[in-house]
Amino acid sequence: MSHKDISIKSKLDSIEERLRGQGDQHLDFLAHKEQITRILELVERKNVLVLGHNYMAPLVYSISGEKERGDSLALSRRAAETRKPIILFDGVRFMAETAKILSPEKKVLIADVEAGCSLADPFTADDIRAYRARYPGSPVVTYINSYADVKAESDYCCTSANAIAVVKHAARESGARRVIFFPDSLMARNIQNELRRDGYDLEVVYPGRDDDLFGRCEVHEKFTAEHIRDIRRQFDMPKGASNAAVLVHWECPPEVVAEADYCGSTSDMARYITRRPGLVRVYLATECEMAANLASEFPQVEFVRTCGFFCQHMRRITLDKILRSLEDEVHEVDVPEAIRVKARRAIDRMLGVD
């Protein structure tokens, strides 16, 4: 066997190991083993970095190595540091675009260019310019769930893993008492609440606060406080329990965040579980594939799976489409250079904060 064959075999074995004991996921692996082998061969032959967001379906997720899976922040960092000539981004388009902004000399592929995001899709650079005109002197912090032209008009980018730190930093650097946060209206309200709790006299303005714009994640907006309380009652998960936890994403409504044991980015949730070995039951108020993926990593934890909240955009990324994209090197993501340079500045400023 050649060196490459050994490497593919060992990757296949480790995927199978990861999915063994996960019932349907293991069966799914066996049914798709040939296709996955073909994908791994192409990844090896073409020297591709395959980044996988935490919301990918388990089989797609398992194609990425341990250090190539994660939240938006972790994957941006990986994209920025890779020496591989091709990046395949298993996630939505704004994520692949961010990889291109950070690694312009690389070929960045996405399996389906239609993989959008309800937060990113409605907003343009004009919205940011209008807010700047309305609130002169206020720095603009833009959530990574946005396209390059919007990032290019912003002072800072941020992700759910560092949004509060970046907003505080932007206010400190500019000396302003007000920060414009785009485009997630619910996350902005959560940030405003956290700042108040921390004693910060800082105003956050965002779409929907003083106008009829509204930026929302179509998945996370569906969670309600009543739903969380039901889960706690039905599954015996009282707030503050040492053996159970409800973990909530910052994109959820503030009433849902108020019901959480912990709030964070998708990878923050995984780290929270790692830090608490006494946990035996966890509910994740986020996209449902995340629980399926974490179940492989934390076999000792029961993930309450009453969830029916899937992201239609993330689900566009399938093995079939990945194979085609790798075979023909199609669905390349590109960003005009003038926009890329400006967007990069906002991302670099974020990466400089933490």
Can you say whether residue 304 is alpha, beta or left, with left for phi > 0 and alpha for psi between -120 and 50 degrees?
beta
* Chosen from ligand 13P, ligand SF4, none, partner binding at 218 (C-beta under 5 to 8 Å by type): ligand SF4
How many residues touch ligand 13P under the rule CB under 6 A: the total is 10
Taking the least distance from each CB to ligand SF4, the nearer of 189 and 313 is 313
Cα of 195 vs its chain's centroid, Å? 23
Taking the least distance from each CB to ligand SF4, the nearer of 18 and 216 is 216
Taking the least distance from each CB to ligand SF4, the nearer of 29 and 303 is 303
Residues whose CB is less than 8 angstroms from the CB of residue 281 and which lie 6 or more positions away in sequence, other chains included: 235, 236, 237, 243, 244, 245, 301, 302, 303, 304
Taking the least distance from each CB to ligand SF4, the nearer of 92 and 128 is 92
Indicate whether 93 belongs to the interface with ligand SF4 (CB under 6 A).
no
For tokens 């990861």, name the residue. 18
Indicate whether 285 belongs to the interface with ligand SF4 (CB under 6 A).
no
* Chosen from ligand 13P, ligand SF4, none, partner binding at 293 (C-beta under 5 to 8 Å by type): none
Query: CA angle, corner 250, sides to 249 and 252, nearest 5?
Result: 75
Which pair of structure tokens corresponds to residue 49?
């970095």
How many residues touch ligand SF4 under the rule CB under 6 A: the total is 13
Indicate whether 76 belongs to the interface with ligand 13P (CB under 6 A).
no
* Chosen from ligand 13P, ligand SF4, none, partner binding at 72 (C-beta under 5 to 8 Å by type): ligand 13P
Residue 318 one-letter amino acid: T
Indicate whether 185 belongs to the interface with ligand SF4 (CB under 6 A).
no
Taking the least distance from each CB to ligand SF4, the nearer of 68 and 287 is 287
Contact 340, 151 (CB under 8 A): no
Q: Which of 101, 125, 161, 217 binds ligand SF4 (CB under 6 A)?
A: 217
Which pair of structure tokens corresponds to residue 30?
């066996």
Q: Which of 313, 321, 331, 344 binds ligand SF4 (CB under 6 A)?
A: 313
Q: Which of 25, 160, 190, 192 binds ligand 13P (CB under 6 A)?
A: 160
Residues whose CB is less than 8 angstroms from the CB of residue 61 and which lie 6 or more positions away in sequence, other chains included: 52, 54, 69, 90, 289, 293
**Contacts with ligand 13P in 246-305 (CB under 6 A)?**
251, 265-266
Q: What is the DSSP string of 252-299?
A: S-HHHHHT-SEEE-HHHHHHHHHH-TT--EEEEES-THHHHHHHHH-T
Residue 14: other Cβ atoms inside 10 A: 13
Residue 264: other Cβ atoms inside 10 A: 19
To the nearest whole angstrom, how small is the minimum distance from the Cβ of residue 92 to ligand SF4?
5
Q: What are phi and psi of 245, to 5 degrees?
A: -150, 145
Contact 177, 203 (CB under 8 A): yes
To the nearest whole angstrom, how small is the minimum distance from the Cβ of residue 122 to ligand 13P?
15
**Contacts with ligand 13P in 213-252 (CB under 6 A)?**
217, 251
Q: Which of 82, 142, 145, 154 binds ligand 13P (CB under 6 A)?
A: 145
**Contacts with ligand SF4 in 99-118 (CB under 6 A)?**
117-118
Interface residues toward ligand SF4, by CB under 6 A: 92, 117-119, 145, 217-219, 251, 287, 311, 313-314
Interface residues toward ligand 13P, by CB under 6 A: 54, 71-72, 145, 159-160, 217, 251, 265-266
